[in-house]
Structure 1
């Protein structure tokens, strides 16, 4: 548990700094904050939502962000630390059969994002976004240790943001599906996100070239479609290890895939409840190794919905009880995970004294490929048919810019291997926004 304790120690040290910063931060007008938040990665059409710049450790102390925004520059810095351990250990089983087995597993991510608005060049609705990421973990596939360009893209909006174009290098999982519960990075992510990634969609550690076009209609309606060079059919680890600084537009055997999503995304307002429903898919002509020894193309389909049931706090419309559900599919001839189902319930502001905390309970099921099971059976090896899980998590807003998120989970069949005992895990996450 030593590595888990590091998360707590680092968070405690930063609480003191953040408290000092709260006192030192001068008065920043709403207009200044609006300009600052308009120069973020979030403002370039991502469906994934990050905390606003007001909720950062450095905030606008001394007016540094306002000064940068006056020159059309925005800077974001994030650090994410995750530790997980399985109380049941499974030490007698093959090492790294699943994440958290036999002890602590640390996955750390550090990122720096710079957004530059092109208004001074006569392009008032255009921005360039550049990110640098560093990731490291004690499990090689989760992901390999790496420093690379996490994004480098051009964004342009038309007709008062009814039409948005983005071209460059980016992780498309931030724009499609909804990697995190409700699209909020301060809540826990789910196993279901593995299915679109299996089909070649880029995730936060891969950023092949892409182009997305989004149409936004009334009442939150949107249609987003795009093209992207598939992540390597040999997997995200191969992609990361063979993509240099992350800007290679080609990868061995990887072709251009097509992705699309249609949905309704309404933010909570006084008297208007949060709603996000979406459905989409990936069609990938890249040839993947099939379990029967041949090769085949790949695809993924998904449908997800999140809805706010209550709004108990006047003046804080995001407070309340939410429910959500997901279903995902991928063909079983080339994918280990072929179906995912999840039901979730979460609450923003569970305690009056802690208005920015969140609590989540989720139950999920993954179905393993029958083709993969048949392949193992031909070698007289047993495998699990499916995997079920239940997780309860609490996201604690410690202070400005700091979220601490403990979670307890139970997973039946944590590995594809049939002889792995069920896992009872404790996970601790620390999110720092600078």
Structure 2
């Protein structure tokens, strides 16, 4: 889940990933039970390539009375999270009906349960894992946030050759396999929502999972990789229509949604005593679903996009811990004859442990500029509507670790053009959310 925003991954409302923090805060000790919290982490879900679940060391209830140890003895792992969020435009530009997230006071919440099972116990290959993840999400902004009561993930993950080859198949959202949307993030989504994310715009599944097969190959050092997936596209009408057609998450077919192919090449290096963290990736998306042309009424075609992203640690790791300053950059492109958002770039600086004695906090400053297709803008003229040429956003946020398993995140985003159509005055959006990991 995106901890800088609601866990339905509506693209990062603020460029801040608490899951990143969770990876960096596994220092607490488990109670005197059969397994340490680090050992129990081996049963955390591996179903998401770009999101690492929080350590059991960062759990409110941990292994109290050995309940997680008892489950682990039988091959089971369990994690529950809850993420309530509020969002409001401090310029008080309320309207009825509401046009963007935060225009009226907006609240949302998501609860997700990850259940895993070690399939090696019943004849699968070594370290094969089943993940079942039901989720429940709701909000008072009906046109911006989907109501979810679905299975977010039902997938089998199988590593081979000590992890150099990895297969995954089942039902799961593609956005958590590629790109790294929630790391750094795109602050412009504070008002515009997930449709402003170009990979989502061209059909990568977001809220409702899609039937997918993923194949990952890594070099012997497990740093250089190629990640390929074939899946069903999200509905070309958008993520809200996709959820409406697939309310429980396990539907094989959705009207208008055809196969989509995604391939990402990358290099990923973890921080150590001698090396800084680095993750470079570049990818392409090809969707065989039909998207209407703006400049050819009645005609449609397939869709595609390209992206390049890089997340690099700028300061030397301290005692092997990935503390310090990071830079995350992203560039995206999609053809302007069938996509409203045709390109964008994002730059985010985030610092882990910026303040003395607060090594598990995270501070983030980000800028995003999204460019709007001139063919889309021209298509609005007959209706006397106008869209902006570009959308800019600057955001500042801070994640404060209240105690083990609880983070409180606050942020401010200034954004011009908080709606794509019609044009509205600039927004100053305040967001406050909490993340509880049980």
Match of 2:209 in 1: 207
Return the TM-score normalized by structure 1: 0.88
| RMSD after superposition | 2.3
**How many Å apart are 1:311 and its aligned residue?**
2.8
Match of 2:246 in 1: 243
Higher relative contact order by CA 8 Å / sep ≥ 6: 1 or 2? Answer: 2
8 A Cα contact 1:192 1:341, kept in partner: no
Superposed, 1:151-170 pairs within 5 Å as: 151-170=153-172
Q: Gapped runs of 5+ residues in structure 1?
A: 1-21
Q: Please say which of residues 394-403 and 326-335 is displaced more in the overlay.
A: 326-335
Q: Gapped runs of 5+ residues in structure 2?
A: 1-26
Superposed, 1:325-344 pairs within 5 Å as: 325-344=329-348
Secondary structure of residue in 2 paired with 1:36: helix
**How many Å apart are 1:50 and its aligned residue?**
2.6
Secondary structure of residue in 1 paired with 2:367: strand
Match of 1:274 in 2: 277
Match of 1:37 in 2: 41
**How many Å apart are 1:379 and its aligned residue?**
2.3
Task: After superposition, give the CA deviation of every residue in 1:348-390 in whole Å (9 maximum; x if it has no partner).
Answer: 0012211100000000111112122101112222221110000
**How many Å apart are 1:310 and its aligned residue?**
1.0
Task: Verify: 1:79 aligned to 2:71, yes or no.
Answer: no
Which whole-Å CA distance do the structure 1 matches of 2:47 and 2:385 have between them?
48
Superposed, 1:21-420 pairs within 5 Å as: 26-28=31-33, 32-41=36-45, 43-44=46-47, 46-91=49-94, 95-101=97-103, 103-123=104-124, 124-181=126-183, 194-203=197-206, 205-217=207-219, 218=221, 220-292=223-295, 293=297, 294-311=299-316, 313-315=318-320, 317-417=321-421, 419-420=423-424
Q: Are residues 45 and 238 of structure 1, via their aligned partners in 2, closer, same or farther at CA, if it must alter by over 3 Å? A: closer
8 A Cα contact 2:194 2:200, kept in partner: no
Which whole-Å CA distance do the structure 1 matches of 2:281 and 2:50 have between them?
11
Secondary structure of residue in 2 paired with 1:247: coil
Task: After superposition, give the CA deviation of every residue in 1:311-368 in whole Å (9 maximum; x if it has no partner).
Answer: 36335x2111111211011122222212121111110001221110000000011111
8 A Cα contact 1:195 1:329, kept in partner: yes
Moved over 3 A (4+): 22-25, 31-35, 188-193
Which whole-Å CA distance do the structure 2 matches of 1:226 and 1:219 have between them?
19
Match of 1:10 in 2: none
Task: After superposition, give the CA deviation of every residue in 1:139-185 in whole Å (9 maximum; x if it has no partner).
Answer: 223322120111101111110010000000001111101021259xx
Secondary structure of residue in 2 paired with 1:38: helix
8 A Cα contact 2:309 2:331, kept in partner: yes
Return the TM-score normalized by structure 2: 0.87
8 A Cα contact 2:345 2:370, kept in partner: yes
- Residue-pair matches, total: 403
